[in-house]
């Protein structure tokens, strides 16, 4: 019995292809402190602008702080763009080398391999599945690092500002995790079905095109058309279910976030009237809410898609 290969072992195999491009990857990693720093600076600037300048009516200081905020946004976007570009470039180069090795491996396979597998299925694995793997690695796994750092840094900032309001945020995380975990399980199931149905339909189409003269010779056009429609309907149903659960995931998260926003405003207003927190702190918490929940869900999705694509890469 063959030993089951773990996702970490598969990721290490990918790193073999990414290692020659370590300079590009190092450049992207070097921008992470600037990205995390600006992520933390923006809520703090919002708090200072409201408490120190908007409420007292200090317009001169307001213009200066607004300039600082614009610079922070520019630095954040610039560092994020460099990070994304370098990671995608590294991922593309690694996938290109991986595709070349995979193509050479396919050419070395015996004839019995192609007797057991339709050419269209093999073609799909070499094209669309490789692109999906690239998206998972370049945009998914490699960017989990920054999303995780930003989420932890924002939570640390919120605890520093008001641990009571932070508890309101943390109370929402367990329901988000439970709901998203259920929806992600269903989404992963239908995502697998979608990939399998696409490979099956592509393989059947390739076989029909190669043998179109034989089909016409035996007047089997109607039967072939019916079979292809069935395979296409299978793909359509799987893709529709996948889209439904994907949309439901973000809709439910958006609804829970709205509930958390209402609770935060309700509890934060009491804290303001009691003189415990300022208006700027409450506005800063509201502004930071989506910055925590959205990366949290993205982290779960990236882990899920990475696992799916890793297992597809073993086929």
Range of weakest confidence among 27-31, 112-116, 240-244:
112-116
- Is 78's pLDDT higher than 90? yes
The DSSP annotation for the chain comes to: -PPPPPHHHHHHHHHHHHGGGHHHHHHHHHTHHHHHHHHHHHHHHHHHHIIIIITTT-HHHHHHHHHHHHHHHHHHHHHHHHHHHHHHHHHHHHHHHHHHHHHHHHHTS-HHHHHHS-HHHHHHHHTHHHHHHHIIIIIIIHHHHHHHHHHHHHHHHHHHH-HHHHHHHHHHHHHHHHHHHHHHHHHHHHHHHHHHHHHHHHHHHHHHHHTHHHHHHTT-HHHHHHHHHHHHHHHHHHHHHHHHHHHHHHHHHHHHHHHHHHHHHHHHHHHHHTTSS-HHHHHHHHHHHHHHHHHHHHHHHHHHHHHHHHHHHT-
Which pLDDT does position 252 carry in this prediction?
Answer: 80
Task: Answer yes or no: is pLDDT of 1 > 80.
Answer: no
At 315 the pLDDT is 44
Residue-wise pLDDT for 103-143, tens only, equals 888 888 888 887 777 776 677 667 766 666 666 665 566 66
- Which carries the bigger pLDDT value, residue 26 or residue 308? 26
Flag whether pLDDT at 303 surpasses 60: no
The neighbour count for residue 268, using CB atoms within 10 Å, is 22
pLDDT tens track for 41-65: 988 998 888 888 888 877 777 888 8
The model carries a pTM of 0.69
Q: Identify whether the C-beta of residue 288 lies closer than 8 Å to the C-beta of residue 154.
A: yes
Dist CA 13 CA 103 (whole Å): 17
> What is the tens place of the pLDDT at every residue in 258-282?
888 888 888 888 888 888 888 888 8
Range of 66-75, 185-194, 245-254 with top mean pLDDT: 66-75
Let me know: does 276 contact 164? Beta carbons within 8 Å. Answer: yes
Domains and CATH numbers, the chain: 7-313 (1.20.1560.10)
Distances (CA, A) of 223 to 208, 212, 226: 11, 13, 5
In angstroms, rounded to a whole number, what is the distance separating the alpha carbons of residues 20 and 180? 37
pLDDT at 216: 85
Task: Report whether pLDDT(3) > 70.
Answer: no
Residues 17-27: tens digit of each pLDDT: 878 888 888 88
Q: What is the pLDDT of residue 103?
A: 83
pLDDT of residue 299: 57
Q: Model confidence at 212, in pLDDT bands (50, 70, 90)?
A: confident
Whether the per-residue pLDDT at 313 is higher than 70: the answer is no
The total number of residues shown for the chain amounts to 315
Average pLDDT for the chain: 79
Q: How far apart are CA 176 and CA 13, in angstroms?
A: 33
């Amino acid at each position: 019995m063959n030993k089951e290969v773990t996702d970490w072992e598969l990721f290490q195999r990918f790193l073999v292809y990414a290692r020659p491009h370590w300079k590009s990857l190092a450049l992207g990693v070097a921008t992470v402190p600037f990205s995390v720093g600006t992520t933390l600076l923006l809520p703090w600037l919002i708090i200072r602008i409201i408490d120190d300048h908007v409420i007292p009516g200090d317009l001169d200081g307001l213009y200066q702080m607004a300039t600082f905020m614009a610079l922070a946004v520019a630095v954040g976007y610039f560092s994020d763009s460099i990070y994304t570009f370098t990671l995608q470039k590294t991922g593309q180069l690694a996938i290109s080398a991986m595709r070349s090795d995979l193509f050479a491996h396919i050419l070395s396979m015996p004839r019995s391999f192609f007797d057991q597998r339709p050419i269209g299925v093999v073609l799909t694995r070499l094209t669309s599945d490789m692109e999906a793997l690239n998206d998972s690695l370049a945009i998914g796994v490699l960017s989990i690092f920054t999303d995780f750092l930003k989420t932890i840094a924002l939570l640390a900032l919120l605890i520093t500002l008001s641990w009571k309001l932070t508890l309101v945020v943390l109370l929402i995380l367990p329901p988000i995790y439970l709901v998203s975990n259920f929806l992600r399980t269903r989404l992963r199931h239908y995502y697998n079905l979608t990939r399998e149905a696409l490979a099956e339909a592509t393989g059947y189409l390739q076989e029909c095109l190669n043998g179109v003269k034989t089909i016409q010779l035996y007047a089997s056009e109607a039967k072939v058309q019916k079979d292809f429609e069935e395979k296409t309907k299978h793909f359509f149903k799987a893709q529709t279910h996948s889209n439904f659960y994907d949309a439901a995931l973000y809709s439910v998260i958006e609804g829970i976030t709205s509930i958390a926003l209402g609770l935060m405003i309700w509890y934060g207003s009491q804290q303001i009237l009691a003189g415990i927190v300022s208006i700027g702190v409450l506005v800063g918490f509201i502004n930071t809410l989506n910055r925590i929940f959205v990366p949290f869900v993205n982290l779960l999705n990236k882990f899920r898609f990475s696992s799916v694509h890793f297992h597809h890469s073993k086929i």
